[in-house]
Amino acid sequence: MSADSAVLSLVRELISRPSVTPDDVDCQMLLAQRLEQIGFRCETIARGGVTNLWARRGKSAPLIVFAGHTDVVPPGPRDKWDSDPFVPTERDGYLYGRGAADMKSSIAAFVVAAERFVAAHPQHEGSIALLITSDEEGPAVDGTVIVCDELKARGEQLDYCIVGEPTSGDTLGDTCKNGRRGSLSGRLTVKGIQGHVAYPHLARNPVHQLAPALAEIAATEWDRGNEYFPPTTFQVSNLRAGTGATNVVPGEAVVLFNFRFSTASTPDSLQARVHAILDKHGLEYDLDWELGGEPFLTPRGPLTDALVEAIRAETGVTAELSTTGGTSDGRFIAKICPQVIEFGPCNATIHKVNERIELAALEPLSNIYRRTLENLLLPR
């Protein structure tokens, strides 16, 4: 096998396995077989139908971890795809298939990068590990989070972590994620008294009561962000009330909303401020909160410098550090690893019909991961 075909060959094998969350379909077994051949000790940590792989080579610090997921989202109607989503297909300079960009190409690039690095530097300092789950696209309760809990309990210290999420925009290497905003959702039920619209004095309209409070919440400046994060945002995602009839005052109004928040705010501070506004307006209400993920941030330092330098050396592109987008498993890893960054291929087609990755990006992607290992583990 030529060097140029190594990443492509492995990603084709991975795409051909229909590993829709939480089914791994032995993707991780395939990875473990490859990694064990170059001295990795591989361990499966399974729970709740989810498969997780922890593979480590070396015992000394620093420990550099590549993290990702073998699970993919469902492909949707097969007849909408130009080719079978689980038959990797090369067409017009692209590789098509579910998971091509999110994120089986990154995983293949991880493995090939490790193979090449170890072949060139078998006595390298430090340690290399892969943390792979089949539960990133789903509930994410039996995946990366339980591996992190296990590693913490063992006292295994992670120093650097690269999550292979597809972060690039227009071209490979233009964007890395050195943090992510947190996600805090709420379900607000405002209680009224149902009645006939012709006798409003016998009813209490929760929509009328809610409106000024909701307007104040929507107009509130929660924070101003910071060097790395934009200001925290509040958005209503659903509002419903009433029976569907035009002559009935509703008995309750239900609002679903979400905060995407920066490190300039905390879940506790946001919750307290919302409750204060609702209480000020005299509402009778119930409010249930769900913390989807806390924000994390890796300031400029050894990991960001090593990755940005590797991208520039391989592609000539100067990467931008960004904290935009949704949540990722980086939020779990950041609790046990001081430096976490996300980097992977272009994300224009992720979760879409005809998901694809440019064939010409596969080799450079693996080389960037390999160069980052060199920058962090080899004497300078």
**Residue 182: count of CB within 10 angstroms of its CB:** 23
Q: Would the annotation count 208 as a binding residue?
A: no
Q: Would the annotation count 351 as a binding residue?
A: yes
Burial-class residue 196 by CB neighbours within 10 Å (0-12, 13-18, 19+): exposed
The catalytic residues are 71, 136
Q: Would the annotation count 142 as a binding residue?
A: no
Q: Is the dihedral of CA 2, 368, 92, 99 positive or negative?
A: positive
Please state, in angstroms and as integers, the Cα–Cα distance from residue 284 to each residue in 131, 209, 225, following that order.
46, 9, 32
Please state, in angstroms and as integers, the Cα–Cα distance from residue 37 to each residue in 11, 118, 119, 184, following that order.
18, 11, 11, 43
Asked whether 175 and 168 are in contact (CB, 8 A), the reply is: yes
Q: Would the annotation count 165 as a binding residue?
A: yes
| CA atoms within 13 Å, Cβ hemisphere of 268 | 0
* Geometric angle at alpha carbon 56, from 21 and 313, rounded to 5°: 90
Cis bond leading into 62, ω under 30°? yes
Cis bond leading into 22, ω under 30°? yes
Distance, in Å, from the CA atom of 230 to the CA atom of 204, rounded to the nearest integer, reads: 39
Asked whether 105 and 11 are in contact (CB, 8 A), the reply is: yes
Residue at 298: amino acid letter: T
Q: Would the annotation count 309 as a binding residue?
A: no
For the annotated binding site, the residues are: 69, 102, 137, 165, 351
For the annotated binding site for Zn(2+), the residues are: 69, 102, 137, 165, 351
